[in-house]
């Protein structure tokens, strides 16, 4: 082999090494490009979703619950299986079980080999589960009151009748509670509820349901008053008012919402008012002390000013930002009510 051939072979080996290096570099860059493209697609989806949320139609102003928009990583198969098993376990623990024994029937109870008919049970049996829906139904609870009389003929006694929610009303408390829950928690209007109850066998008009609803509201007024009183005892209260259309006039009414941060769990109280005056905050909060978190509406000034019992934390935070004072880490970090009032007076709010 000549010197020229040896040199050509060496250059060929070097070229092969360079090609392998370039191929590895190209593979790495292709993978990085794919990752960047995936990240870009995710950002574009987020941008489009946020655009719809800000400038789209009202029906589109909500982020879709997709993993591509939220940027969450795809769950592994093992994690999905674990979540499904946990949900199935929680479902089996909450749904009651109704056991039904199904015997072997017909000619299967005869052994095909020896024609024996005295077959013995083998174990407890094979369990077969099926989740089924039991339709709701309405029943008349007929109470027959026992009447007793004394042989002397001078004493007659009758058992006391079960209490009724309302006089001269054939509807029981469970049915009335079902109407209230369906309307308030399930947001089902009376005309839909009327059709649903008719399918279950109960013919009841919307007028009757409205009467029961209002009479139940009157009966539950003490509980509503107790709930409002609990709100006034809270150290931190959030408040807001929402306009509502009225049917009898063109003027707007307002639904006031008061959220109290209690020790165990939050408490929410609602108050309806025909106007937006500060009378509603004064009735609900009164002379109670603490912190009120609300907007800049002046109707809250009757209970949230330096001269009032409560401090308007939102007003104080805005004053701090105007004067360049750093935030205090939340309303609970402000100390006692008197310290909050002194801080508010120093800021001029």
| Range with the poorest average pLDDT among 60-74, 140-154, 199-213, 251-265 | 60-74
Same domain, 317 and 327: yes
Q: Is residue 57 part of a domain?
A: no
SS (H, E, C) the chain: CCHHHHHHHHHHHHHHHHHHHHHHHHHHHHHHHHHHHHHHHHHHHHHHHHHHHHHCCHHHCCCCCCHHHHCCCCCCHHHHHHHHHHHHHHHHHHCCCCCCCCCCCHHHHCCCCCCCCCCCCCCCCCCCCCCCCCCCCCCCCCCCCCEEECCCCCCEEECCCCCCCCCCCCCCHHHHHHHHHHHHCCCCCHHHHHHHHHHCCCCCCHHHHHHHHHHHHHHCHHHHHHHHHHHHCCCEEEEEEEEEECCCCCCEEEEEEEEECCCCCCEEEEEEECCCCCHHHHHHHCCCCEEEECCCCHHHHHCECCCCCEEEHHHHHHHHHHHCCCCCCCHHHHCCHHHHHHHHHHHCC
Asked whether residue 174 falls in the same domain as residue 234, the answer is no
Q: What is the pTM of this model?
A: 0.58
Instruction: Tell me the average pLDDT across 179-188.
Output: 92
Same domain (yes/no): 342, 231 = yes
231 and 192 co-located in one domain? no
Structural domain contains residue 178? yes
For the chain, the domain total comes to: 2
- Domain assignment of residue 182, yes or no: yes
256 plus 196 within the same structural domain: no
Is the pLDDT confidence value at 68 over 50?
A: no
Asked if residue 261 is part of any domain, the answer here is yes
* 232-250 confidence digits (pLDDT tens): 898 889 999 999 988 878 8
Residue 13 counted as domain residue: no
What per-residue confidence (pLDDT) applies to 334? 41
Q: Are residues 185 and 250 in the same domain?
A: no
Domain of residue 211 covers 164-219
pLDDT at 263: 82
The reply to whether 264 and 337 lie within a common domain is yes
The answer to the question of residue 106 being in a domain is no
**Same-domain pairing of 189 and 297:** no
Listed residues 193, 219, 245: the one ending a domain? 219
Residues 306 and 339 in one domain: yes
- pLDDT tens digits, residue range 186-210? 999 999 999 999 998 899 999 999 9
Which pLDDT score is estimated for 307?
63
**Has residue 26 been placed in a domain?**
no
* Residue 177 located in a structural domain: yes
Q: What pLDDT does residue 344 have?
A: 46
Which of 219, 240, 264 delimits the end of a domain? 219
Domain boundary among 219, 249, 282: 219
- Asked if residue 234 and residue 184 are part of one domain, the reply reads no
197 and 279 in a single domain? The answer is no
Same-domain pairing of 231 and 266: yes
Work out the percent of the chain whose per-residue pLDDT is above 70. Answer: 82
Summarize pLDDT for 329-340 with one digit per residue, the tens: 444 434 444 454
């Amino acid at each position: 082999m000549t010197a020229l051939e040896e040199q050509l072979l060496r250059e060929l080996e070097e070229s092969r090494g360079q090609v392998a290096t370039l191929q590895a570099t190209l593979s790495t860059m292709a993978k990085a490009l794919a990752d960047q493209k995936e990240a870009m697609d995710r950002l574009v989806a987020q941008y489009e979703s946020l655009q719809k949320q800000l400038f789209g139609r009202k029906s589109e102003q909500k982020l879709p619950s997709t993993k591509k928009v939220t940027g969450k990583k795809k769950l592994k198969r093992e994690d999905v299986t674990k979540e499904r098993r946990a949900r199935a376990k929680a479902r089996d623990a909450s749904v009651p079980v109704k056991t039904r024994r199904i015997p072997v029937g017909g000619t299967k109870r005869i052994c095909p080999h020896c024609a024996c008919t005295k077959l013995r049970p083998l174990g407890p049996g094979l369990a077969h589960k099926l989740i089924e829906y039991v339709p709701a139904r309405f029943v008349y609870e007929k109470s027959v009151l026992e009447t007793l009389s004394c042989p002397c003929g001078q004493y007659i006694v009758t058992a006391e009748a079960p209490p009724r929610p309302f006089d001269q009303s054939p509807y029981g408390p469970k049915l009335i509670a079902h109407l209230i829950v369906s309307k308030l928690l399930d947001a089902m209007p009376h005309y839909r509820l009327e059709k649903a109850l008719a399918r279950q066998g109960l013919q009841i008009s919307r007028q009757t349901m409205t009467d029961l609803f209002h009479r139940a509201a009157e009966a539950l007024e003490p509980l509503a008053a107790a709930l409002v009183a609990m709100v006034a005892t809270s150290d931190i209260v959030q408040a807001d008012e929402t306009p509502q259309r009225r049917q009898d006039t063109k003027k707007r009414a307002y639904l006031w919402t008061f959220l109290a941060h209690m020790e165990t769990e939050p408490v929410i109280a609602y108050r309806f008012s025909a106007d937006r005056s500060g009378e509603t905050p004064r009735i609900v909060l009164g002379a109670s002390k603490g912190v009120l978190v609300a907007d800049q509406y002046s109707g809250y000034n009757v209970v949230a000013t330096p001269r009032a019992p409560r401090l308007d934390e939102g007003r104080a935070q805005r004053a701090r930002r105007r004067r360049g004072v750093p935030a205090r880490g939340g309303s609970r970090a402000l100390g006692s009510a008197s310290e909050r009032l002194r801080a508010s007076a120093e800021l001029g709010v």
